[in-house]
Amino acid sequence: MSDFAGMEDLLQDFLVEATDLLSGVDNKLVELEKNPQDHGLLNDIFRGFHTIKGGAGFLNAAELVTLCHLTENLFDKLRNNEMTLNKELMDVIMAATGIVRDMFGTLKSGMQPSSAEPDVIARLKAALAGQLIVAAAPVAAPAPAAAAPVAAPAAGPDWDKLFGAVAGVTAAVPEVVATPAPPAVPLPVEAVIQHAVGRRGTDKPGYQGPASGRRTEEKSRDNSIRVDTSRLDQVLNLSGEIGLTKNRLNSLRSDILNGRSDTDTLHALDQAVSQLDLLVSDLQNAVMKTRMQPIGRLFQKYPRIARDLARNLGKDVELMLVGEETEIDKTMIEDLSDPIIHLIRNAVDHGVESPEERRANGKSEKSQVRLEARQEGDHIVLIVADDGKGMNPERLRAKALEKGVITDEEANTMDERQSLHLVFLPGFSTKDVASDVSGRGVGMDVVKTNIQKLNGNIEIKSVVGKGTSFIIYLPLTLAILPVLLVQLGQQPFAVPLSMVREILPIEISQVQEVGGRATMVVRGEVLPIYPIAHLLGWTPEMIPEYGVLMQMADHTFILAIDGFMGREDAVIKSLEGFRPKGVAGVTTLSNGQIVLILDIKELLADMGDNRGVPRSAFVPVEQVAA
């Protein structure tokens, strides 16, 4: 049952736009903490709440209107220098912003939000009335609220007007010029409360009571997208051009079918096809661009999260955003949200030190966490870097040993990179006491899994005493996957190019057997060889001649193949309805052939310890005979 029957479109529009607006406000609040006197910021934030209030009014979201109105009034006073910003005030404002966000969540699930925590409302009102606000215990809170409007009418007339406005939206301003606003007599508190309640009573009858909405919010994916009209125009232009070229081709076809095949006709055909080629790839790019969104949309919410966290932990952290204009596929933006939150939490909680510790080490007390995005070739690079204490590979190894996550042998052969990557193992955490912020080692493995789901990978760079950087590499889009076409006999298969490091010949003289399994030494590293036929469960047709050095997050190996056809930008089609194990999807080659895209990770997981084959699998037949 929705409270918004007939208004779904309006609600949807409002939520998309207002959520953006609120993220902007959140960011500006963090800025404001640094520059409490910045008039421009105060103005912007004021306008943000004001705008949300205006829209909420049309949705009859009375509680949201009330909350925004109070906050807005507070900013009105701040920007008019009738009040100065202090820490307590900031906390109330932050709390109010949080509740506005919660209310958006409730609205999203089709419910009218219930009233905000009385504590926050009371503190807002007290602040407006010019009273000193204490971080009031919920029980004590109502007292100042009740006292405020009556006791200090001079200082706090604004909120009377709110109720005037709410009460008499139409009645208050019957004439344009003549009649001013309602009488300036403060309404008694009871009347105010009654009024608020009364208004809520007019909500849709299906409303199940105040608390039901807030937590039942479904995590629904936002399916709408905002696209710059100039980009849509470009798509339209290109489709028009393609239409024209299609007409040209049609006419050439009838010419050719009618027996014309002179040089001019063929030349014209060649031209038309080349043009179509160009136009179609332009169109593909243009369509892809409509899905691209500036990552700033995602970044916006983090300064606030970092700030809240740092304050909880008694640290002084500044989150620096770089490259907010970098564009990235919309679906990825959503899937990146949680991993980045986790990395930021991690940086603030584990990465940076307490102010005391920093001072003792001769560092500035304020620590910096940098969130950066940039495009590098056909990749997007995301960096979460802190200037904290860094990670000690030695300690990580010791910890992993102690926890039994790795064996002695493994610990001894691990290089620095491998040691740092231990943090991605499930259940790994170097903090003995789990904090409620970063949890107990749950998360980093999830971060990694999520990044891999996006066909990306994550690296760590850390210098003890200087800080740690997590670097995420992502493809520009999920729709197009660069693949390497490899052959098993004559049958081509596609493997994601992102995993391919190099291609090398397999020579039997270099193949050694370790523990009954074939391996090859590549630049000092012993790598197992897995023939593709073996992974797929096919009977090998010939001795594999080539090896593809594949690098996965936790595993590097050589995929033995019979031949390869080169690289291609595959447009992935998922197999509707069924999904064979080890197949990520299919793609069509330029010659029309359909090729399976292999999910290497799944193939390997499926084989378990059975992936390897004996060295004999690579011994040419004539040598066996000899």
Q: Which residues bind another protein (CB under 8 A)?
A: 10, 13-14, 17-18, 21, 44, 47, 50-51, 53-55, 57-58, 60, 161, 164-165, 168-170, 172-173, 176-177, 180-182
Q: Report the run of H or E that residue 519 belongs to, with start and end.
A: strand 517-522
SS3 call for 241: helix
What does the alpha-carbon distance between residue 162 and residue 159 come to, in Å, rounded to a whole number? 5
Quick check: 589 and 568 in contact, CB under 8 A? Answer: yes
Residue 421: CB minimum distance to another protein, A = 46
What does the alpha-carbon distance between residue 32 and residue 11 come to, in Å, rounded to a whole number? 30
What does the alpha-carbon distance between residue 272 and residue 316 come to, in Å, rounded to a whole number? 63
Measured from the CB atom, the residue of 128 and 328 that comes closer to another protein is: 128
Residue 266: CB minimum distance to another protein, A = 50
Residue 223: CB minimum distance to another protein, A = 17
Residue 229: CB minimum distance to another protein, A = 12
Quick check: 50 and 72 in contact, CB under 8 A? Answer: yes
Measured from the CB atom, the residue of 51 and 290 that comes closer to another protein is: 51
**Other Cβ atoms within 10 Å of 326 Cβ, number:** 19
Residue 426: CB minimum distance to another protein, A = 44
Measured from the CB atom, the residue of 203 and 357 that comes closer to another protein is: 203
What does the alpha-carbon distance between residue 29 and residue 97 come to, in Å, rounded to a whole number? 10
**Other Cβ atoms within 10 Å of 529 Cβ, number:** 24
**Other Cβ atoms within 10 Å of 280 Cβ, number:** 13
Measured from the CB atom, the residue of 53 and 342 that comes closer to another protein is: 53
Residue 414: CB minimum distance to another protein, A = 55
What does the alpha-carbon distance between residue 464 and residue 469 come to, in Å, rounded to a whole number? 12
Quick check: 53 and 162 in contact, CB under 8 A? Answer: no
Measured from the CB atom, the residue of 40 and 243 that comes closer to another protein is: 40
Measured from the CB atom, the residue of 198 and 465 that comes closer to another protein is: 198
Residue 10: CB minimum distance to another protein, A = 7
Residue 177: CB minimum distance to another protein, A = 4
Q: Which residue has the tokens 């990825």?
A: 332
Measured from the CB atom, the residue of 18 and 29 that comes closer to another protein is: 18
Q: Within a 13 Å sphere around the CA of 268, how many CA atoms are in the beta-carbon half?
A: 17
| Start-to-end CA span in the chain (Å) | 80
Measured from the CB atom, the residue of 184 and 197 that comes closer to another protein is: 184
Secondary structure of 332-363 in the HEC alphabet? Answer: HHHHHHHHHHHHHHHHHHHHCCCHHHHHHCCC
